[in-house]
Amino acid sequence: MPEGDSVFRTARMLHSALAGQRLTTADLRVPAHATADLTGRQVLEVLPRGKHLLARFEGGLTLHTHQRMDGRWSTYGSSERWDGGPSWQIRAVLGNAGHTAVGYRLPVVELLRTEDEQRAVGHLGPDLLGPDWDAAEALERLSKDPGRPLVLALLDQRNLAGIGNVYANELCFLAGAAPWTPYGEVARPERTVALARRLLWLNRLRPGHTTTGDTRSDRRNWVYGRTGQPCRRCGTRIARSTAGDPPQDRVAFWCPRCQP
């Protein structure tokens, strides 16, 4: 599932291609909205909310989408060939005279009134990349379940929105805490929350989810995806397991020495 910084870049891409233009093509290929006609409406803006995307149109309508594990938005020029997958995987098409945005394999495609957006995203905690980011509220939400494993608390979008598996595991390492450490036992959790904001903000305009400061593809992360490789700090082999109960369990990477 894309991390919040990836969704931020997708929103930026869609906004650049669509905002301020009237739709000449609009096709929502899901049963609930197959007859909806957005043609002729101006796209006002496309913005991220955590891992969700909100495309707002004139007339008070919003297209809410979520990419989850397999979804993807791509944009194409008027003469470019669509190459994101076979046509039967397309769930949404929004186009104007110059660009077309195509949503492939989107598991969530919901057309709703803009005034009802909270119904889709109102459950989310403070958005790490949002203009209304509120660290104090995020900490308050996290503290309501002090016994919850840190990695799961960070992944819960109701606490703070935008963290996925990569950042959750990397933040545990940077906090010096094993993924299963109860949140209430983490020293200075406010530093972890502040670091989460800083990492996503620094990566919002570049791919790779860099947490080490080194953007080379094989040096970006401390522990995520590095099973069996030496820890960059102490040389201990990185371990891998899971956190949480199936089917909601999540992958966990950690250094047994740096994260006792």
**Catalytic site positions:** 2-3, 51, 250
Residue at token pair 């707002």: 56
Exposure on the CB side of residue 210, measured as CA atoms within 13 A: 16
Rounded to an integer, what distance in angstroms lies between the CA atom of residue 100 and that of residue 22? 12
Residue 223's nearest CA partner among 250, 260, 253 is 253
| Backbone CA torsion sign across 55, 56, 58, 60 | positive
Estimate to the nearest angstrom the gap between the alpha carbon of 173 and the chain centroid.
20
